[in-house]
Amino acid sequence: MRTQLNEFQQRAVARFRERDHLVLNFATGAGKTLAALACAEDVKPQRILLLVAEKAHIDQVWKAEIAKHGIDLEHVEIEAYHQWHARPKHGHYDLLIYDEAHLITPRVVSILSQVRFGRTLWLTGTLEPERMDRILSLCPDVDVLSVGLDETTASGTTKAVDVLLVPVSGNTPHVFTKTIGRGSKPMLVTEVQARHLSGRQCVTIKGTFAHLYGQFSQLIRMYRSNENIRNRAGLMRKQLMVSLKSIALSRHFPDMVAWARRNDKRILVWSMNKMSFRPLVRDPRLAEVLGSKPVFRRLAYYSDNPDRQRVYEAWLAGQRPFIYASKLLVTGANLPQEADLFLAVSLEYKSLAGILQKLGRITRHGGTLVIPYVVGTKEEDVIAKLKRKLPKTWNVKTISIDELSRRYR
């Protein structure tokens, strides 16, 4: 190996000399990929099986890292989960390296139990008790080495992030029309305009966002035993909040994009889906800033789509000041590391807790995380939980939308 390991990678190598089975629970940015390769090179196994989340990761991540750092390994089989699970090779391997171990399922446990492994390395940044139990069922004596963002920031491996929490009022009038879903009995949605729901019908509600939030919350309580209606109402409540935040930010977003263009900065927007993102780009001033009307399909970033890769490359080259991404926790959809400003319009505690791990890609260079949230809703509780999870080395501040606009004008 021709690369000097950081302190966390050295710690991993030392621990793996002592233990045959090890979980590297490293925050993104700590260097767990190189740590795993260094561990493998150190123990010199004869046969290695390396299972990765996406086929693209074989060449773009693992083979690239092996070549970049001059890792000396023989007889390495690198395969994507779905391919190997479909045709598992029964037999014996000296070492298993399992990337993204937080994605392990009971089916995977069943398949892996049929293969013999001398040693195992499990890589993750978001280790949950349920996933740990599955690993323990395969390796009862597995050890865990954890490195958090606080440690990586304090050591200088990653940089501190500015976190701006932006409260948004729900007292904005709006008309909301959606299909709720099929129910076992008629469902009534009250307020200015409403219809009885029998089967799959549309319902239109008029009122403020805050009141509509209450309506959907009431539906969830009323139909707690009806999973279909409850889940649909819950999804629409989330979409409602994202739409409200997109609308509230829309009049300031052109200024933020202009700031990015002037200063050669890059903005990444995350939303639940493209429809909830759309209101953010509706201000006509945005077309003036961009020089043309925004074409929606040219604003998206998906790591596994060739067309979207071209969009991403244009963004990296400074030809596009911003892109949006959705479903960032889908396997293989990683945050681009070059983002200077990350605008998280969607807000779910589990999702953001995971995204904080992915933010290691941003923290290598520093950056700003902007999280708008709707006051008077469950999002306030999410923010409270999130603040307890944020690394102490990060700079957290609550500012108004107007202050946000002045900052990026």
Residue 17 is predicted with a pLDDT of 96
Phi-psi region of 134 (alpha: psi -120 to 50; beta: other; left: phi over 0): alpha
142 shares a domain with 45: yes
Q: Are residues 133 and 63 in the same domain?
A: yes
Q: Which residues pair with 374 in a beta bridge?
A: 168
pLDDT of residue 305: 63
In terms of domains, do 42 and 64 share one?
Answer: yes
Q: Tokens standing for 9? A: 């990678």
Nearest Cα to Cα of residue 95 among 128, 72, 126, 118: 118
Whole-angstrom CA distances from 72 to 50, 79, 334 are 15, 19, 27
Count structural domains, the chain.
3
Q: Would residue 155 count as lying in a domain?
A: no
pTM score of the predicted model: 0.76
pLDDT at position 297, please?
A: 64
Task: Name the nearest CA neighbour of 368 among 386, 402, 342.
Answer: 342
Q: What CATH number corresponds to the domain at position 344?
A: 3.40.50.300
Query: For residue 3, what are the β-bridge partners?
Result: none
Are residues 120 and 255 located together in one domain of the fold? no
pLDDT of 307 = 67
- Residues whose CB falls within 8 Å of the CB of residue 173, separated by 6 or more in sequence, listed in order: 206, 207, 208
Same domain, 136 and 179: no
> Both 270 and 346 in a single domain?
yes
Asked whether residue 276 is assigned to any structural domain, the reply reads yes
Residue 300 placed within a domain = yes
CA–CA separation, 71 and 61 (whole Å)? 13
In this structure, the answer to whether residues 194 and 267 fall within a common structural domain is no
Distance CA 233, CA 224 (A): 10
Same domain, 377 and 270: yes
Same domain, yes or no, for 223 and 289?
no
211 residue type, one letter: H
Specify whether 120 is located in the same domain as 186: no
E strand residue ranges, 86-222: 92-98, 116-124, 143-147, 161-168, 173-179, 187-188, 196-197, 202-208
Tokens describing residue 221: 């309580």
Residues 233, 317: one domain? Answer: no
**Strand-pair category, 202-208 with 173-179:** antiparallel
Asked if residue 193 and residue 279 are part of one domain, the reply reads: no
Rounded Cα–Cα distance for residues 178 and 185 (Å): 18
pLDDT number for residue 304:
58
**For position 155, what pLDDT does the model report?**
86
Last residue of a domain, one of 191, 221, 246: 246
Q: Within 13 Å and on the Cβ side, how many CA atoms surround 165?
A: 18
- Tell me the C-alpha distance between 270 and 11, whole Å: 34
Structural domain span for residue 179: 173-246
Nearest to 139 by CA among 152, 127, 122: 122
Per-residue pLDDT of the chain (409 residues; tens, 9 = 90+): 788 999 999 999 999 999 999 999 998 778 899 999 999 999 989 899 999 988 878 887 898 889 989 998 888 889 888 888 777 666 789 999 999 898 888 888 988 888 899 999 999 987 888 889 999 999 999 999 999 888 888 888 888 889 999 999 999 888 776 665 555 444 444 443 334 444 456 667 778 888 888 888 888 888 788 887 788 788 888 888 988 999 999 999 999 999 999 998 888 888 877 777 788 888 899 989 988 887 766 676 655 566 667 777 778 777 788 888 776 543 344 555 567 888 989 887 666 766 666 666 666 667 898 999 999 998 999 899 888 888 888 889 999 999 999 998 8
